[in-house]
Chains A and B, each alone.
Chain A
Amino acid sequence: MRLLEKIRIRLQMLLHRGRESDRLNAELEFHIEQQIAENKAAGMNAEEARQTALRTFGNPATLREQARESWSWNGLEALTRDIRIGTRTLQRSPGFALTAILVMALGIGANVALFTLVRSVLLRPLPFLQADQLVGIFEAQSDGSFRDNIVAGGSFGVWQQHARSFSNLAITQERSYNLAGAGDQLPEVVKAQSASWTIFPLLGVQPALGRFFSSADDQPGANATVVLTWGLWKRRFAGDRSIVGRMVRIDDNAYTVVGVLPSWFAWPDSRVEFWTPLYHERSAALMQMFEAHNFDVVGRLKPGVTMQQASSDLNALQREIRREHPDGPVNDAVNLRSLVDAETYDVKTGLYALLGATGCLLLIACLNIANLLVARSASRVKEAAIRTALGGTRLRLIREQVVESTLLAGAGGLLGLLFAGGILQWLIHMREDIPRADAIHMDGVVILFAMAAILGCGLLAGLIPALSSRDTRVLTALQESSRSYTGERGRARLRQLLLALEVGLTVVLLVGAGLLLRSYSELRAADLGFAQRNILTMEMNLPKSSYSSGDRRLAFDEQLLSRVRALPGVQAAGLTTVIPGEGYGRNDVFTIREHPPLQRGQVLSSLTRFVDPGYFGTLQIPLTEGRNFESGDRLDHAQVVVVNQELVREYFPNEDPIGRHVEADMVFPGQTLRIVGVAGNTRDEISHDPFPVIYYPMLSGDQRGIALIVRSRHDPAGIALSAQKAIASLDPQLPVSNVLTMEQILGQSSLDARFDATLLLAFAVLSLLLAMVGLFGVLSFMVAQRTTEIGLRIALGARREQIMQQMLRDGLKPALWGLLIGLGASAGVTRLIASLLFGTKPLDPAIFALVSITLLLVAAVACALPAWRASQLDPMQALRAE
Chain B
Amino acid sequence: MAKPSDLVQGTLDLLILRTVAPEPMHGWAIAKRIQQISQEVLQVQQGSLYPALHRLEQQGWIRAKWAESETGRQAKFYSLTAAGKKQLDEETAHWNRLSAAIDLVIAGA
| Partner-B contacts on A (CB < 8 A) | 2, 5-6, 9, 13, 23-24, 26-28, 30-31, 33-35, 37, 56-58, 62-63, 66-72
Contacts and interface: CB of A to CB of B under 8 A. Distances in A.
B11 interface: no
B46 interface: yes
B51 to A, nearest CB: 5
A71 B58 contact: yes
Interface stretch (B69-77, B91-99, B100-108): B69-77
B54 A71 contact: yes
A871 B55 CA distance: 63
Given A23-B76, A58-B47, A63-B47, A30 B69 contact: yes
Q: For this complex, into which size category does the number of interface residues on chain B fall?
A: 20 to 34
A6 to B, nearest CB: 5
Residue in B52, B58, B74 with the greatest tally of chain A CB atoms within 10 Å: B58
B76 A62 contact: no
Interface string B16-54: 000000000011100000000000000001110011111
Nearest to B83: A2
Contacts of A63: 46-47, 50
A535 B66 CA distance: 94
Contact of A66 (B51, B60, B75, B76): B51
A62 B47 contact: yes
A801 B24 CA distance: 82
23 contacts: A5-B83, A6-B60, A13-B58, A23-B76, A24-B50, A26-B76, A27-B27, A27-B75, A30-B26, A30-B27, A30-B69, A30-B73, A30-B74, A30-B75, A31-B27, A35-B28, A62-B47, A66-B51, A67-B50, A67-B54, A68-B54, A70-B55, A71-B54
Contacts of A5: 60, 81, 83
Given A30-B76, A31-B28, A58-B46, A70 B51 contact: yes
Nearest to A72: B58
A67 B60 contact: no
B87 to A, nearest CB: 11
Contacts of A26: 74, 76
Nearest to B76: A27
A37 B71 contact: yes
B18 to A, nearest CB: 20
A24 B53 CA distance: 11
Contacts of B46: 28, 31, 56-58, 63
Contacts of A27: 26-27, 50, 75-76
A568 B35 CA distance: 115
B66 to A, nearest CB: 8
User: Interface residues of B: mostly helix, strand, loop or mixed?
Assistant: helix
B73 A9 contact: no
Nearest to A56: B46
Contacts of A72: 58
A675 B34 CA distance: 117
A261 B49 CA distance: 74
Contact of B60 (A9, A13, A56, A69): A9
Contact of A34 (B28, B53, B55, B81): B28
B39 to A, nearest CB: 18
A15 to B, nearest CB: 15
Contacts of A66: 47, 50-51
A72 B54 CA distance: 10
Contacts of A30: 26-28, 69, 73-76
Contacts of B47: 58, 62-63, 66
Given A23-B66, A23-B76, A71-B54, 12 more contacts: A5-B81, A6-B59, A6-B60, A26-B74, A27-B27, A27-B75, A28-B46, A30-B26, A30-B69, A63-B47, A67-B54, A70-B51
Q: Report which residue of B26, B46, B55, B58 has the largest number of chain A beta carbons within 10 angstroms of its beta carbon.
A: B46
A257 B53 CA distance: 81
A366 to B, nearest CB: 39
A54 to B, nearest CB: 11
Given A63-B50, A66-B50, A9 B71 contact: no
A37 B28 CA distance: 12
Contact of B50 (A6, A13, A28): A28
B45 to A, nearest CB: 8
A34 B50 CA distance: 15
Nearest to A33: B73
A458 B51 CA distance: 33
Contacts of A35: 28
Nearest to B55: A70
B29 to A, nearest CB: 8
Q: Which 3 pairs show the lowest CB-CB distances between chains A and B?
A: A70-B55, A34-B28, A70-B54
Contacts of B54: 24, 67-68, 70-71
Nearest to B49: A31
A264 B37 CA distance: 80
A2 B84 CA distance: 11
Contacts of B50: 24, 27-28, 31, 63, 66-67
A13 B54 CA distance: 11
Contacts of A24: 50, 54
Nearest to B29: A34
Contacts of B27: 27, 30-31
B86 to A, nearest CB: 10
Contacts of B75: 27, 30
B41 to A, nearest CB: 18
A785 to B, nearest CB: 42
A75 to B, nearest CB: 14
Nearest to B82: A1
A72 B58 CA distance: 7
Contacts of A57: 46
Contacts of A56: 46
Nearest to A62: B47
Contact of B58 (A28, A37, A62, A70): A70
A26 B74 CA distance: 9
A663 B37 CA distance: 118
